Amino acid sequence: MAADSRYRFYEFFCGGGMARLGLGRHWRCEFANDIDPAKLAAYADNFGADVLRPGDVGDVTPDELPGAADLAWASFPCQDLSLAGPRGGLNAARSGVFYSFWRLMEALQSEGRAPRLIGLENVPGLLTCSGGADFTALCEALDSGGYRFGAVEIDARWFTPQSRPRLFVLALRKDIPIPSDLALASEPDHLSPFLTGAVRRAAARLPDHLKANWVWWALPVPPRPNAALIDMLDPPRATPWHAPEETKRLIAMMSGPSRARLKDARKAPGPVAGALYRRMRVENGVKVQRAEVRFDGLAGCLRTPGGGSSRQFVVWVKNGKVRTRPMTAREYARLMGLPEDYILPARDNAALHLAGDGVSGDAVAFLRENLFEPVLDEARTAVLAAE
């Protein structure tokens, strides 16, 4: 994909380059960093290695970041912030690498080349981890670094058939004006798909000096996608299915509500595709592994295949008969918005990890179109008019 130099960005925790795909051809990547060898190899296979800086972000120095960027993007690790994890917060080892990234931003500020925009992506659990103290600390860092900031929750289901809510903290340098149509004057008095209750409660917990720099970003409501999960799957004959015994085992693991959903799907006149994942539940004080299935046209939130327990399965129901199989890496990629010609890692687990650990490129494209480019274009117009 050829790029021009209209906008420039740094991509931290770049993974396989999903943010780069979402930013599109008018954005030129000046620097990309990650520590995972398989993700770096995929990034190089798809974009080349000329801007790649492998290794720990804590080892990156400011002089390795060329020029002045319009945007610094960071999809920093979520393991210590997720509701499914230990919730160690920003002081824990993995999610705490945010501060290594932020030290670089502070250094750029001291050199007079702070990025105009900062885009941070993580799980919504960031809003409540450590009783909200982690989110407040992050906002404190942005404020002291010379940025106004706000947060939105965007679910990938607006773009692809996957339920994947993610938090995006979006910050703009205080010296750059915000176009009037991109920010609300105050907290909205109506329901918003992006300014959720969790975002509002987090904003309300901030101290007054941070509330003064909070921005209620105004984003349009996009149309719902036409595609459903069944449209994203490989043809039924193109992939191997479980033996009947394995399918029976998964059905036996289902919770009561999942069994009811499967019973309804068996009555449907045509083929029905569902998504299944396994999870641990506590029942009568005992941990039990259960299989949960949904037939609402969406996949559940894709995760990394740690131990196989969080890998999703396809449940195919036709004429009352049920078949199951693991979801393929290419199906994961489609659900993350990756194009068909995106080169995935050869090893299945590496490809699943890349997709399950990534950011929705469609969500990034939505922010690029409705926030990043309008802000930057108006700022440049104002500079030209002043000159």
What digits encode the pLDDT tens for the residues 46-70? 999 999 999 999 999 999 999 999 9
Same domain, 108 and 147: yes
In the chain, how many domains are there?
2
Residue 360 has pLDDT above 50, yes or no: yes
Token output for 181: 């149509």
What pLDDT was estimated at residue 86? 47
The tens digit of pLDDT for each residue in 274-308 reads 999 998 888 888 898 999 999 999 999 998 876 44
Residue 349 has pLDDT above 80, yes or no: yes
- What is the rounded average pLDDT of the residues 108-132? 94
What pLDDT was estimated at residue 190? 78
Residue 90 has pLDDT above 60, yes or no: no
335: in domain: no
Helices (H) and strands (E) in the chain, counts: 13, 13
Quick check: helix, strand or coil at residue 255?
Answer: coil
Same domain, 71 and 193: yes
322: in domain: yes
Per the rule left: phi > 0, alpha: psi between -120 and 50, beta: everything else, 58 is alpha
348: in domain: no
Give 217's strand partners: 183
304: in domain: yes
Measured CA angle at 160 (ends 84, 371), to 5 deg = 90
342: in domain: no
State which of 282, 308, 327 marks the end of a domain.
327
Same domain, 22 and 160: yes
- Under DSSP, the state recorded for 49 is S
Same domain, 167 and 239: no
Per mean pLDDT, which range of 13-27, 52-66, 147-161, 371-385 is the poorest?
371-385
CATH number of the domain within which 367 lies: 3.40.50.150
Residue 189, Cβ neighbours under 10 Å: how many?
6
User: Phi, psi (5° rounding) for residue 279?
Assistant: -150, 160
Domain that holds residue 60: 7-221+360-386
The tens digit of pLDDT for each residue in 167-220 reads 999 999 999 999 999 999 999 887 789 999 999 999 999 999 999 999 999 999
State which of 309, 327, 345 marks the end of a domain.
327
- What is the rounded average pLDDT of the residues 141-169? 97
Per mean pLDDT, which range of 82-86, 126-130, 160-164, 289-293 is the poorest?
82-86
- Under DSSP, the state recorded for 155 is E
Q: Write down the mean pLDDT value for the chain.
A: 91
- pLDDT-derived band at 310 (thresholds 50, 70, 90) equals confident
